[in-house]
Amino acid sequence: MIPQDLQALQWRDGKLILLDQRKLPRKIEFYSCVKMEDCIYAIKSMIVRGAPLIGFTAIFGLALWLKEYPSANLDELKNAGQKLVDARPTAVNLYYEVERTLAFIQTDPSCANLWEKVVSFAFTQIELLKNNNTKMAFAAEKKLEEFGSGPYRLMTLCNTGYLACGTLGTALGVITHLAKKNKIAHVYASETRPYLQGARLTAFELKVLNIPHSVVVDGAASYLMREKLVDAIFIGADRIVANGDTANKIGSAGLAAIAKHYGIPFYVVAPLSSFDFNLTSGEQIPVELRSPQEILSWNGHQISADGVNALNPSFDITEAALISGIFCEAGFFSPVTTQSLNRIKQGA
């Protein structure tokens, strides 16, 4: 059970309250958003992170904007939505939730206190994600049973739990679900450079939930698999395109390639809001380049020599051929191909 003081997203007294994930796990601090611009800053600076939670933050951002500008026209509203979408370019959930909210608003644009209806809409989407993620967790459990009854030794990258989703997570949601059924022997949380979402956040969630785990450096993946310490790998996704190529936190593609070499199942767990059928291959996915200082310094302290340069891509693209299967609320898809995922597109 998630303690109340660790809720990643809260709405109180007409404000969006976000758990500042930059400060975890050493400090528990919150950031209040009273205007849409505060939400944009929270997204850009990674106060809030995780594709689903970024999308939900955008919905609340539009609510705050409507509260401030209740007489705005549709074009002005769309411009506000675009500012939110531009905050981070890779995760498609941000665009998806903004577009869905704009469509919802247009069903009754002249309604009194429209911003309150948007707040209600946001909570409906969070509950929907919880239900869908639960479906994925059950499907993943059923798939793992093909390899034995457990308990399982699993590996994950980045953070895909309640801190990333605001509710039951995706890949980490699978692990949480299995732990409740005593089907987890051990979890290896890759530290996830450069922002250490695995070491800081995933390990924090696992500790809070009393799930046995170890943090490992990103470069330890080959050792773990060669020593037969991992039964399967679960990651989330920031964008999945029509052929199954998947954008996720940097290090995902290398992890998938190593898993392929050692014959370890490598699974992606993501809601339909992470699919982008407008793009046909991973080559078309924009990859966010973040500040070199995230690599060259830590917690305000320079760790490299003066004048050193760094390249800091926040994501990489895992080719579909390296993915054993994708879990979403529409089912389990394997092999991951344009043809298999087309069934999702047709049902969307």
The residues that are catalytic are 238
Measured between alpha carbons, how far is 338 from 275 in angstroms, rounded to an integer? 12
A 10 A CB-CB count for 114 gives 20
Measured between alpha carbons, how far is 128 from 152 in angstroms, rounded to an integer? 28
For 57, phi then psi, to 5°, come to: -60, -35
For 97, phi then psi, to 5°, come to: -70, -35
DSSP 262: H
DSSP helix/strand/coil, 147: helix
Give 232's contacts (C-beta < 8 A, 6+ positions apart). Answer: 144, 147, 152, 154, 155, 264, 265, 266, 267
Give 240's contacts (C-beta < 8 A, 6+ positions apart). Answer: 246, 247, 268, 270, 274, 275, 276, 326, 341
Task: With beta carbons less than 8 A apart as the criterion, state whether 114 and 52 touch.
Answer: no
For 131, phi then psi, to 5°, come to: -65, -40
Measured between alpha carbons, how far is 137 from 175 in angstroms, rounded to an integer? 8
Measured between alpha carbons, how far is 13 from 247 in angstroms, rounded to an integer? 36
Classify burial at 239, counting beta carbons within 10 Å of its beta carbon; exposed 0-12, middle 13-18, buried 19 or more. Answer: buried
Report cis status (omega within 30 of 0) of the bond before 25.
yes
